[in-house]
């Protein structure tokens, strides 16, 4: 297992296809917390897979104003079919050409197999990595770690605002 990018580091910007004719950049999401979920492949043979669970948890993510994106090396066409079948309501990005380039930048690429790790990142509103987690490839990590990180991020933001206003007042 490699090392995924650690908290405190600027999340490398990227532009990837979200549909066959549209792209999405990390920079487009600046100003909101972003959850980056790298995963090995669309079409894993279970119905309650990682993306299906995140899809179902979207209201909780949105409560934190967070955007969620899934990233794998599957093509935009593959993602489109997968998202339609599973009624996914968040974007899946295709780290397809050059294959796995973005995953590599995040330390979330598996060379031997040529797929993304199951790696999770919470990026704060300024584009810094706030939390990261590398799950064993066979273990779907669920959403609890992400929601805990978003809770802590929110607490930190609240404290920062308090400190700043206290500073202005003093």
124 binding another protein? (CB under 8 A):
no
Cβ closer to another protein: 16 or 83?
Answer: 83
Q: What is the CA radius of gyration of the chain?
A: 16
Cβ closer to another protein: 57 or 81?
Answer: 57
Element (H, E) at 118: strand 118-123
- Least distance in Å: CB of 52 to another protein? 6
Dihedral, CA of residue 83, residue 85, residue 89 and residue 92, to nearest 10: -10
- Least distance in Å: CB of 61 to another protein? 10
The 53-92 contact track toward another protein, x by CB under 8 A, reads x-xxx--x-------------------------xxxx---
140 binding another protein? (CB under 8 A):
yes
Sign of the dihedral defined by the CA atoms of residues 124, 91, 38, 47, in that order: positive
From first CA to last CA, the distance across the chain in angstroms is 49
Q: Which of 8, 21, 45, 47 is catalytic?
A: 47
Q: What's the helix, strand, coil split of the chain in %, to 5? A: 35, 25, 40
The region of 32-40, 48-56, 93-101, 121-129 touching another protein under the rule CB under 8 A is 48-56
Q: Catalytic site residue 47?
A: yes
According to CB under 8 A, which one of 141, 149, 150, 153 is a site residue for another protein? 141
**Token pair 């549209």 in the structure block, residue:** 22
**Token pair 């993602």 in the structure block, residue:** 79
Paired tokens of 139: 């273990």
User: Where on the chain is the footprint of another protein (CB under 8 A)?
Assistant: 46-50, 52-53, 55-57, 60, 86-89, 139-145, 147
Catalytic amino acids? 47
């Amino acid at each position: 297992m490699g090392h995924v990018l650690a908290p405190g580091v600027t999340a490398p910007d990227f532009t990837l296809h979200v549909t066959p004719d549209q792209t999405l950049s990390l920079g487009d999401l600046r100003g909101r917390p972003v959850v980056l979920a790298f995963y090995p492949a669309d079409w894993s043979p279970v119905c309650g897979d990682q993306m299906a669970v995140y899809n179902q948890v979207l209201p909780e993510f949105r409560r934190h104003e967070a955007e969620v994106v899934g990233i794998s090396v599957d093509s935009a066409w593959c993602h489109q079919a997968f998202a339609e079948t599973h009624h996914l309501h968040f974007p899946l990005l295709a780290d397809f050409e050059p294959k796995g380039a973005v995953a590599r930048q995040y330390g979330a690429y598996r060379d031997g197999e040529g797929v993304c790790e199951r790696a999770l990142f919470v990026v704060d509103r300024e584009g810094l990595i706030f939390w990261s987690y590398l799950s064993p490839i066979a273990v779907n990590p669920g959403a609890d770690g992400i929601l805990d990180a978003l809770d802590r991020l929110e607490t930190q933001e609240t404290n920062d605002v308090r400190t700043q206003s206290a500073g202005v007042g003093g």
